[in-house]
Chain A
Amino acid sequence: MSCVVGIDLGSTTTKALILDERGEVLGRGITNSRSNYDLAAAVAKTEAFINARFSLVEQQAAGTDAAGVVGRLRRAFVMEQLLHQLRHLEQLMLAEVDASAPRELTAAFHVALTEICRQITAEEEQRFKQPPMLRSDFFRDAVGSAFMRIAEQIGDPNGVSFDRLVGMYDKCIIRVENEPLALDFRDHIGTALRRVGNPPGLVDAVEYAVVKDLDPRATVGTGYGRARLPFPKEQIRSEILCHGLGAHAMFPGTRTVLDIGGQDTKAIQVDSEGIVTNFQMNDRCAAGCGRYLGYIADEMNLGLHELGPLAEQSKRCVKINSTCTVFAGAELRERLSLGEKREDILAGLHRAIVIRSMSLLARSGGVSDEFTFTGGVAKNAAAVHAIRDLVQENYGQRTLNISPESIYTGALGAALFAHRMAA
């Protein structure tokens, strides 16, 4: 079957999205952009095709006993991918130890690293048996935190210390991320199937999905790294147009779009067809974008996904004046030392970034009904809360749309452009 692909090379994450012949979403894939857009685009695309094949499995299994097992099969597949990467990481670290560690520590290093990887594997196996829990999709995030935790327990301050172990990890994780690995559907679906017990109906559905020919007829790229894509100019679209069109496709009543991404904020006005009629973006300074939250999360020793829920517990929002990311970090520490609660400070920080985007919205022509919020920050409940309040205060009642797939808005717009191109 033919399909089209949209790729959004963002500053933080790279997204790919596949549409089928009817323009329906078949698959989505996401990865961290690293500093290697070529690889990020390839990984995101692979992920999107894996996802598309799972959609086919789902379609095929629909109405059969196997339908209920597809979710578990997906989780098994993701785990197999992770374990494959982990094995590769382990090999790289052991080789690195042989190449660069002091000779007297080599043996102890081998023991420690093997033990860490064994424990991570065991944890992942255990995790698979439990109900799904939210965590970052990326290998680096998932394995990184477990590695640090275990390394802290088993590190020997007088021998292979925590710092030495982490140093070895840091050296090798970048290579794992930047080497193309066998992570495709065909590579791991067999082991994943075995893990869920090879249910007969599901095996048939998987076989159908494996052999199905998915032929991309057109690809359109957008986002910061789009110049890196080996496409002719007509296959490259600005993310403004893609976000406008993507938001329109998700919510056809959309007239205003706010996208807060990793390093920029876009305020976009669209007409009833999703054509951009006006837009504004930040350019001299990127304070108040997604990276700001990333920095704050680091400062507070929290995961990015933990910020919003914590801020939502606030009863009294602290006013943060600094719009500069670095100064906001300083203000945060000062407030903490004055005894302010973490959740109240975080609520203030979320409001501060939203206030900055309100000025861009005003510049672009205000907030019309309906208003769609997209980008990675739209996943953050506290940011959404602040947006809702400030839009209400400044423009009155507006319908606020947020799609759970909002991070794919740009990729969706790009795929829609590709779809029109292929038509």
Chain B
Amino acid sequence: MATVQKDRSMLLQKEMIANHFARLEQAPETGEKVVYTFVPGNLTELIRSFGALPMLPEINALQSGMRKQSGDYIAEAERAGHSEDVCTYVKCDIGMMRSGNIGPGGTKLPKPDLLLLSYTGCYTFMKWFELLREEYQCPTVMFHVPYQGDGVLEPEHRRYMLRQLREQVIPALEKVTGRRYDEDRLREHLVRSARAEDDLVAVLQAGKLRPSPIDGYFGTVYYVGPIFSAFRGTEEGVEYYRALREEVDERAALGLGPVTPDGPLNDQKYRLVVEGPPNWTSFRDFWKMFSDERAVVVASTYTKVGGTYDFGFRHDPADPLGTLADYCSGCYTNLNLPSRIDMLVRYIHEYQADGFLINSVKSCNSFSAGQLMILREVEKRTGIPGAFIESDLVDPRYFSAANIKNRLESYFQMIDARRLGKTA
């Protein structure tokens, strides 16, 4: 078997995550406070400014999926009475908790001192924390982010969010950590966030090059890991994105493609845009179905669930709470369907894609509802036919490899036929 080739940045990230989970495991002894929160609309800088440690349950779930542990956890949650139709991230987390709460990295996960829910379009998140609150009997605070139904953030929406941050979220964090809100400290975190965001955007936009030095979906879910989770606004985060950018710049200068499970993909035949989360339980097999066909994903929407930085947003230290409100409202899950369509159309044009693919996941109605309308509309506006496949996040039962492979191969052959203008 060939040795799996890993990027330098991946090794760096691995170390950061290991250190973070070691701190989380030791938190009950060290007294560090642990705040559970979700990726879209996470207030990491604010949490960090109180000296607390963020933990993101859906990241644990997807990691369990990648490590083939999610099937057992889901079965455990179903034994406890959760239906087959419930989001599999939730069931994976509940199942993990019931199985001793050992995280995907093998460390014991601490109980939350606070559940901080940023509500950015996913109703299930709310129910998820309700279940955890029942289990842990810990304080909960909800930050309600208004849905961008008309595609814009109105001033009153912003005021509503600022009031919640001042009157509910900050007092809850003060109470749990025993520290006063320190705006200067928050600003320092935000300066670091913006720096890392600049580097991340440079990496994402490298997808415009030919060949693309990144895979904007399979590779980029790793790239966005630190900034979507515990490391936004941290020194490690800044360092990671600097290293990543150098690495991608270097590949671009050499005309090299991304490193896939089968090694570097330099000779790229298809450029795709992808909408929807990946399947985690068969992540490498799924990726291989693309790399085998020499297909590279140049941009994706899923890698914007934790922030749409490539359209200009940066955390602004000059307006610490305002910028957090802006950040939360702009997360991909909080955007209306026309905004999502615009984004896909822009990606297809700006990244010169040959095709686009929707992976519709059973678990996530926030993502899946409206995807067929998106498909039709993007096809209409770009003249490019879309592919539509169905799978799930972390339930291995909903990934039918033979069917998905068949679908993808057909799609690539269709692109070939269209290119040639004839069927041979």
Which A residues fall within an 8 A CB radius of B?
A: 224, 237-241, 245, 264, 273-281, 283-284, 363, 365, 416-417, 420-421
A276 partner residues in chain B, CB cutoff 8 A: 410, 414, 417
Nearest A-chain residue to B417, judged by Cβ = A275
CB <8 Å contact, B403 and A283: yes
Q: How far is the CB of A358 from chain B (nearest CB, A)?
A: 14
Task: Give A242 to B368 CA distance when docked, in angstroms.
Answer: 30
CB–CB A275/B422 < 8 A: yes
> With the chains together, A224 CA to B406 CA distance in Å?
8
Q: With a CB–CB cut-off of 8 A, which chain B residues contact A275?
A: 414, 417-418, 421-423
Return the contact of B403 from the options A238, A240, A281, A365 (Cβ within 8 A).
A281
Is B168 engaged at the interface, CB distance under 8 Å to the other chain? no
* CB of B386 to closest CB in A, whole Å: 8
CA A276 to CA B423, docked complex, whole Å = 9
State whether A239 and B418 are in contact (beta carbons under 8 Å apart), knowing that A274-B423, A284-B398 are contacts in the complex: no
Contact in complex: B423, A281 (CB < 8 Å): no
- B410–A283 CB distance below 8 A: no
Select the stretch in B76-84, B300-308, B388-396 that faces chain A.
B388-396
A284 touches B362 (CB 8 A): yes
Residues of A within 8 A of B379 (CB): 278, 365
Beyond the given pairs A276-B414, A284-B362, A363-B388, 8 more chain A to chain B contacts, judged by CB atoms under 8 angstroms and listed by A's residue number, are A273-B422, A275-B418, A279-B411, A283-B389, A283-B391, A283-B403, A284-B391, A420-B423
Q: Which residues of B contact A421 (CB under 8 A)?
A: 424
B409 within 8 A of A: yes
Interface of B is mostly: helix
Residues of B near any A CB (own CB < 8 A): 362, 372, 375-376, 379, 385-386, 388-391, 398, 400, 402-404, 406-407, 409-411, 413-414, 417-418, 421-424
Chain A: which residue is nearest B397 at the CB level?
A284
Complex: A245 Cα to B409 Cα, angstroms: 16
Contact A283 B404, beta carbon cutoff 8 Å: yes
Please tell me which one of the listed residues B390, B413, B418 contacts residue A277 in the complex, with CB atoms under 8 A apart: B418
Q: Collect the chain A residues with CB atoms within 8 Å of residue B376's CB.
A: 365
Please give, as numbers and ranges, the residues of chain A lying within 8 Å of B424 by CB-CB distance.
417, 420-421
Number of A-B contacts defined by CB within 8 Å? 69
Quick one: given A273-B422, A421-B424, are A240 and B391 in contact (CB under 8 Å)? Answer: no
Contact B423 A273 (CB under 8 A): yes
A363 close to B372 (CB less than 8 A):
yes
Residue contact A238 to B389, C-beta cutoff 8 Å: no
User: Closest approach, in angstroms, between the C-beta of B89 and any C-beta of chain A?
Assistant: 18
Bound state CA distance, A245 and B407, in angstroms? 17
A224 to B413 CA separation, bound complex (whole angstroms): 16
Min C-beta distance of A216 to chain B, whole Å: 18
Q: Are A417 and B414 in contact (CB under 8 A)?
A: no
B400 touches A284 (CB 8 A): yes
Cα–Cα, bound, A13→B341 (Å): 41
CB distance from B277 to the nearest CB of A (A): 15
Contacts of A241 in B (CB 8 A): 410, 413-414, 417, 423
The 4 closest A-B pairs by CB, nearest first: A238-B410, A240-B410, A278-B385, A420-B424
Task: Check A264/B417 contact, CB under 8 A, given A239-B410, A273-B422, A277-B385.
Answer: no
In the complex, what residues of A have CB within 8 A of residue B391's CB?
283-284
B375 to chain A, nearest CB (A): 7
- Report how far A239 CA is from B406 CA in the complex, Å: 9
Could you tell me if A279 and B389 are in contact, using CB atoms closer than 8 angstroms?
Answer: no
A10 to chain B, nearest CB (A): 12
Please indicate the chain B residues that have their CB under 8 angstroms from the CB of A278 in the complex: 379, 385-386
- The complex places the Cα of A17 from the Cα of B37 at a distance, in Å, of 60
The reply to whether A280 and B414 contact each other, CB–CB distance below 8 Å, is no
Q: List 10 A-B contacts (CB under 8 A).
A: A224-B406, A238-B413, A241-B413, A241-B414, A274-B423, A281-B406, A283-B389, A283-B404, A283-B407, A416-B423
Name B423's contact: one of A245, A283, A363 (CB within 8 Å).
A245
Distance between Cα atoms of A238 and B415 in the complex (Å) = 12
Chain A nearest CB from B111 CB (Å) reads 36
A237 pairs with B413, CB closer than 8 A:
yes
- In the bound assembly, the distance between CA atoms of A279 and B417 in angstroms comes to 13
Closest to B424 in A: A420
- Complexed CA–CA distance, A421 and B422 (Å): 13
Chain A nearest CB from B291 CB (Å) reads: 15
Kindly state the separation between the CA atoms of A277 and B410 in the bound complex, as whole angstroms.
11
Q: Chain A residues near B407 (CB, 8 Å)?
A: 281, 283
- Are B410 and A363 interface neighbours, CB within 8 A? no
CB B96 to nearest CB in A, in angstroms, measures: 25
Most buried by A among B391, B407, B423: B423
Once the chains are docked, how many angstroms separate the CA of A237 from the CA of B406?
10
Q: Residues of A contacting B423 with CB < 8 Å?
A: 241, 245, 273-275, 416-417, 420
A279 touches B410 (CB 8 A): yes
The chain B residue with its CB closest to the CB of A274 is B423
Task: Report the bound CA distance from A262 to B410 in whole Å.
Answer: 18
Bound complex: CA A264 to CA B403 (Å): 9
Q: Is the CB of A280 within 8 A of B410?
A: no
Chain B min CB distance to A248 (Å): 9
Residues from chain B with Cβ under 8 Å of A240 in the complex: 410, 413-414
Which residues of B sit under 8 angstroms from A416, Cβ to Cβ?
423
User: Please, how many angstroms separate the alpha-carbon atoms of A379 and B87 in the complex?
Assistant: 40
Q: Is the CB of A283 within 8 A of B400?
A: yes
Q: A273-B422, A284-B362 are in contact. Are A279 and B414 (CB under 8 A)?
A: yes
Nearest chain B CB to A263 CB, angstrom units: 9
Specify which chain A residues have a CB less than 8 angstroms from the CB of B413 in the assembled complex. 237-238, 240-241
Chain A: which residue is nearest B422 at the CB level?
A: A273
Q: What's the least CB distance linking B32 to chain A, in Å?
A: 43
Q: How far is the CB of A237 from chain B (nearest CB, A)?
A: 7
Once the chains are docked, how many angstroms separate the CA of A241 from the CA of B404?
Answer: 16
A238 and B406: CB pair below 8 A?
yes
The complex places the Cα of A281 from the Cα of B410 at a distance, in Å, of 10
B383 vs chain A, min Cβ distance (A):
10
